[in-house]
């Protein structure tokens, strides 16, 4: 996959992480610790590493193995967050999981749902996957609003699913399949055609 590959809609774009982005990610994450800490994955067997060069190298190795697609989220050409497409499986499963974060200065501007929709459409139409899943902590109202805007189905609760902020945390599971959005996730949202969803959990 070309390092200059990007997905774009208006002022929002996704591009692949490059080795030289480690410094930018380090600056954004460390300067927004209070905002990100409640939601970030941690190491259950020791301290969480802030070696961003190593993290980016690991993501790029996973990209080479077609296991992960690591994106940066850009708004008006400035890096404002990260979106990873992980656990990519083909064949009879044909699915992936999306995780993301953005900095607080640009939250609430529609950047995250746009980025998620771009990634989902790419996985459905270009990569040819059948199902995309997003796992969200029950307390993360901002992320729940993202999946609600895009019309993802609520599928249930996974107990103590991911180690987050120093403990095993429950996560709500949301998903869409390609058949549910034949015209694309982004188009459906932009056209105001997403069914109104009231989650019951």
Residue 76 lies inside a defined structural domain of this protein: yes
pLDDT tens per residue, range 105-159: 999 999 999 999 999 999 999 999 999 999 999 999 999 999 999 999 999 999 9
CB 116 within 8 A of CB 98: yes
Task: Find the CATH number of the domain harbouring 183.
Answer: 3.40.630.30
Cα 127-88-160 angle, rounded to 5 deg: 145
What does the alpha-carbon distance between residue 79 and residue 199 come to, in Å, rounded to a whole number?
32
Which pLDDT does position 6 carry in this prediction?
87
pLDDT of residue 7: 96
On the question of pLDDT at 88 being above 90, the answer is yes
Position 116 in a domain: yes
Asked if residue 201 belongs to a domain, the reply is: no
On whether residue 82 sits in a domain, the answer given is yes
Per-residue pLDDT averaged across 16-40, rounded? 92
* Residue 160, domain extent: 6-190
Backbone angles phi, psi at 127, to 5 degrees: -80, -30
- Average of per-residue pLDDT across 70-86: 97
User: Tokens 């069914």 — which residue?
Assistant: 195
* Residue 152 belongs to some domain of the structure: yes
- Judged against a pLDDT cut of 90, whether residue 31 lies above it is answered with yes
DSSP character string of the chain: --TT-EEEETTEEEEE--GGGHHHHHHHHHTTHHHHGGGSB--TTSPPP--HHHHHHHHHHHHHTTS-EEEEEEETTEEEEEEEEEEEE-TTT-EEEEEEEE-GGGTTSSHHHHHHHHHHHIIIIII--SEEEEEE-TT-HHHHHHHHHHTPEEEEEEEEEEEETTEEEEEEEEEEEGGG-TT-HHHHHHTT-PPP-----
**Is 68 inside a domain boundary?**
yes
Residue 199 placed within a domain: no
pLDDT in tens, 37-65: 888 888 887 666 678 999 999 999 999 99
Note the pLDDT of residue 1: 61
Distance of CA 196 to the CA centre of its chain: 22
Tens digit of pLDDT for each residue in 152-191? 999 999 999 999 988 999 999 999 999 999 999 999 999 9
What distance in Å separates the CA atoms of residue 9 and residue 14, rounded to the nearest whole number?
9
Note the pLDDT of residue 13: 98
> Is residue 59 situated within a structural domain?
yes
The pLDDT of residue 10:
96
State pTM to two decimals. 0.94
pLDDT tops 70 at residue 92: yes
Per-residue model confidence (pLDDT) at position 108: 92
Count the domains in the chain.
1
């Amino acid at each position: 996959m070309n390092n200059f590959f990007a997905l774009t809609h208006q002022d929002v774009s996704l591009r692949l992480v490059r080795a030289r982005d480690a410094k930018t990610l380090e600056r954004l994450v460390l300067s927004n610790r209070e905002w990100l800490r409640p939601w970030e994955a941690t190491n259950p067997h020791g301290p969480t590493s802030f070696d961003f060069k190593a993290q980016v190298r690991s993501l790029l190795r996973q990209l080479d193995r077609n296991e992960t697609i690591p994106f940066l989220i850009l708004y008006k050409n400035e890096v404002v967050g990260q979106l990873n497409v992980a656990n990519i499986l083909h064949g009879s499963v044909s699915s992936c999981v999306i995780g993301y974060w953005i900095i607080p200065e640009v939250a609430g501007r529609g950047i995250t749902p746009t980025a998620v929709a771009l990634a989902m459409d790419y996985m459905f139409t270009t990569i040819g996957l059948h199902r995309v899943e997003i796992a969200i902590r029950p307390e993360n109202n901002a992320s729940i609003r993202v999946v609600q805007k895009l019309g993802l189905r609520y599928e249930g609760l996974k107990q103590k699913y991911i180690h987050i902020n120093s403990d095993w945390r429950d996560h709500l599971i949301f998903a869409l399949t390609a058949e549910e959005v034949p015209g694309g996730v982004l188009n459906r949202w932009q056209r105001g055609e997403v069914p109104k969803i009231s989650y019951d959990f």
